Amino acid sequence: MHRDSVLRAALRLAAVVLVATIAGVVASGCPAPRLPAVEGCTVGATRCRADRPQVCSSTGRWHDVGDLACAASGAVCVEGDAGVAHCAVAADGGSDVR
């Protein structure tokens, strides 16, 4: 019987340590995702901001398309005739956009 009580005590201690560890991880404040503010934009809409195309997500947030500004590839951000923002190569030193 003595061995069973020692085993139960060890299991209880392990359970307490596990619960305390989980509580510590939760309380340590795991970083929240860094999402843009909700702006209520139209889902699928696009725009240019800071030389980068952005698209509106299903949660009403503007998200950058790609990792770099258009200038990093020698282009500029334009909102095309179809209303779709994209990077386009500038012709004639930037006076015209193709």
pLDDT computed for residue 86 by the predictor: 94
Span 51-68, mean pLDDT?
95
Element (H, E) at 78: strand 75-79
User: Is pLDDT at 43 greater than 70 in this prediction?
Assistant: yes
Q: Which is nearest to 70 in space by CA: 60, 57, 80, 61?
A: 80
Q: What is the mean pLDDT of the chain?
A: 82
Question: Which letter does DSSP use for residue 46 in this model?
Answer: E
Alpha-carbon gap, residue 16 to 40, rounded angstroms: 45
User: Is pLDDT at 97 greater than 60 in this prediction?
Assistant: no
> Do 36 and 62 meet the contact criterion of CB atoms below 8 Å apart?
yes
CB atoms within 10 A of CB 77: 22
pLDDT computed for residue 93 by the predictor: 56
Span 34-43, mean pLDDT?
89
pLDDT computed for residue 14 by the predictor: 73
pLDDT computed for residue 78 by the predictor: 95
